[in-house]
Amino acid sequence: GALVGLFSGYPKESDLEFKNNNIKLNVPEGSNVVVLKNLYLSCDPYMRSRMSKLEGSYVQSFTPGSPITGCGVAKVLKSGDSNFQEGDLVWGMIGWEEYSIVNATQSALFKIHDKNVPLSYYTGILGMPGMTAYVGFYEICSPKKGETVYVSAASGAVGQLVGQFAKTLGCYVVGSAGTKEKVDLLKNKLGFDEAFNYKEEKDLVADLKRYFPNGIDIYFENVGGKMLDAVLMNMKLHGRIAVCGMISQYNLEKTEGVHNLFCLITKRIRMEGFLVSDHYHLYPKYLEMIIPQIKAGNVVYVEDIAEGLENAPKALVGLFYGRNVGKQLVMVSRE
């Protein structure tokens, strides 16, 4: 999965190409170098920005001609790092390739201890998106029982968990998504109180008012653009907006303006952006909370698994057309 070249606009499958490369499996002792067999790759929206020419961003552009990298689950084949042994399962930053040679520290590899859950979950609920939902909801939204919560891109990797966390706390939760199938999923499987297809709504301000006649206490922002403007008009006094992502803007040459920011003042709204990477010190605490919930069946997690590395470009591109139903990942190898 090598990037052909940096680009602007919507991504295409042909922006990635596959090459055959031979790699050496030798690692120098005490070198932090680890050889991995890659099992599951995570498709994440932020990866799109790394395919553009970036300046002053929190991430760097991918290098054209080299495999792109992303979060993934892998098995250790050889290790020069004393923290990892042959046979260990890990997750962290790996290449879009069958085997990767990485520096364990730079790739921020986490050892996987609990294997009595699906291994693929370490790309989703037990990995970066799970932590994003946890930190974004509990740390940034300051939620309280009984509050009204709205989640956009609600059926995705992050959104489906935010909704479930909010329900567990006793909030009223509404989600939006782009197809009927996803709306049904939100209402019938993920426990949202209400859900709607934002693509079918003609007047978002009026429609949100129907779901939130007394206003929104918490907005978990995943999409940006027109949706944010409509939400601002529906926020309650002292509401909170956790700005997690703005996927509607990632492929635009010029991002859309937001018109209703004045509401921040009149309604004393706190709007706060966050990056999950600043919060990994909370990861052990999160696992301690979430793994028993998964095992007890109190939290469900919907995955969309593409099979085979050759299908990885299509899976990644699909995020920007809403083709994924739940967390999009790629199975490179089962073991």
Binding site for ligand NDP (CB under 6 A): 44-46, 129, 132, 153, 156-159, 177-179, 182, 222-223, 244-248, 274-276, 319-320, 322, 324, 327-328
CA gap 300, 164 in Å, rounded: 8
The residue among 95 and 129 lying less far from ligand NDP, judged by its C-beta, is 129
Both structure tokens of 67: 């495999």
Least distance to ligand NDP, CB of residue 49, Å: 8
Burial category of 243 from C-beta neighbours within 10 Å (exposed 0-12, middle 13-18, buried 19 and up) = middle
Least distance to ligand NDP, CB of residue 60, Å: 16
CA distances from 125 to 5, 65, 108, 112, 173 (A): 32, 31, 18, 13, 19
Least distance to ligand NDP, CB of residue 27, Å: 31
CA distances from 139 to 28, 220, 279 (A): 41, 12, 10
CA gap 49, 69 in Å, rounded: 13
The residue among 118 and 322 lying less far from ligand NDP, judged by its C-beta, is 322
The residue among 157 and 290 lying less far from ligand NDP, judged by its C-beta, is 157
The residue among 319 and 331 lying less far from ligand NDP, judged by its C-beta, is 319
CA gap 72, 333 in Å, rounded: 12
The residue among 100 and 324 lying less far from ligand NDP, judged by its C-beta, is 324
What backbone phi and psi angles, to 5 degrees, belong to 186?
-60, -45
Least distance to ligand NDP, CB of residue 248, Å: 4
Least distance to ligand NDP, CB of residue 31, Å: 30
